[in-house]
Structure 1
Amino acid sequence: MTPTLTPPVVLSVAGTDSGGAAGTAADLTTLAALGVHGACVVTAVTAQDTTAVHAVHAVPPAAVAAQLDAVLGDLPVAAVKTGMLGAPAVVELVGQLLPGTPARPLVVDPVLVATSGAVLGDAAVVAAYVDVLLPVATVVTPNADEARALLGRAPDDPTPAQELAGELALLGPAVLLTGGPDPRDEDPAGAQPCCTDWLALPGVQPRPLRHPRVATRNDHGSGCTYASALAAHLAHGASLASAADRAAAYTARQLLRSAAWRLGRGRGPVAHLHPLPSGEPA
């Protein structure tokens, strides 16, 4: 066996998904696929499948703090990715102990609503994100619904995604507002429909990052996968724009891989499978 260099470490601070599609399941498999050692701090245990979140058991803040102490006291964490945090006290704890720095970027995926529609973060959680966590984050990766919630806008607010990204960047972090499938959003070259993410830096006009749209209902866990891939590439030293492009490309590949799957009764999982290295047995 050929020896390999020690990989960078990325810490996932997130909840579990018993269906194996999102949360720590998506984070750790994505990190491993992209050459990163994943550590994890569990913030909540969910009873979840492709149709719904049936129950949530929040991990007490003291236990979250103990997990953080164990990881930070032993491993050289190169980047941090947060997912479902669940409680204001946990949001505040992460903001205090894991602020983003050039040496250890903090990727915040503000998980407020599950793919199934279940609310995973109430108004107090949103306030803690805005007041404590976003100002110290390196980059935040909301979808349009999460961006509206963080900005205090109604769910049906018509503000375009580009403007939402710019307004959210005024809170401090860089913003990668991820765009879902939109038939009106076509590749400028006319080749195929695409999705547009918006990259916004504080005080800078947001710019579009376009990538192919994958036609699939098997997208449960895609937000976690994207944010984890972003953290992995940042841990490898990529610039934010390059990491964003690579994360989008990786997520699209995994969506294509699972597009024809028949798993679960609801929105199926994005693929966490990866080709085996040549010559290794299955």
Structure 2
Amino acid sequence: MNVQQSQQSITPELRAWIVAQAEAGCDPQAVLKAMHDSGWDEEVALEAMEGTLREHLAARGAGREVAQPPLRPAASVPEPDLSQSPATLWAGDREVSVVMTLASPRVIVFGGLLSDAECDELIALAEPRLSRSETVDTDTGGSEVNASRTSQGMFFQRGEHPVCARLEQRIATLLRWPVERGEGLQILRYGPGAEYRPHHDYFDPAHAGTPTILKRGGQRLGTVVVYLNTPAKGGATTFPEAGLAVAPVRGNAVFFSYDRPHPATRTLHGGAPVVEGEKWVATKWLREGRFD
């Protein structure tokens, strides 16, 4: 197994997704292609699918109950007013275009959420504070370096700079979700070859550290990824279950919501490898309660 393969772990989350695709009647080759398109090594993807389905069928054949994440009641989630199918929406201080909408998974692409000058300002403010990106460790409630995430990043406090406050207010206005129910902006830089392999943004209720995490703001319900530059090649935000790849275009943003912490939301997503140049993004996570 090569270095790239050894860094790709077959997680319980990935196994649950593979089982869900199989039970939905998806063609195995289509599932493998979706994984490959999202950055998974072909051999790792094949091993994950074969091993997961073998165990799943064996458990079924033995008459054992196959554990699946519990399907919880749907929560109210952030959502723009698209009742009249508008081409643009007013974000409080600027017009934002509605580039694309998808019902399942719930994905909306906004155009022109930030100006070029605002993108440059966020990059300049963040760059001196970058370090290796970490992910939330849901077993402990802390954070850790994860081989599946090969970017550099940093966090701003909510409203830390005027440009942060403007972007946060625009998001709140667009999605009709209070500013205080959002985390601070995270700025990420992906160099050539850097990626974030497919994952979910909600906190898995089955993990031991999740109750500790939820004490501060509750569950995550939505994500906004704002592109601060346009890479020369690569770097799309991918949704494997929908066969969707959102190109990173400077000033644009992709929003997706998940009304319960469950693979049924179909919000498995990833950041495809940057092929040429670099990619800068600002990520905003929206919570069900006040995040202080």
* TM-score between both structures, scaled by the size of structure 1: 0.28
Higher RCO structure, 1 or 2 (CA under 8 Å, sep 6+): 2
Specify which structure has the higher proportion of strand: 2
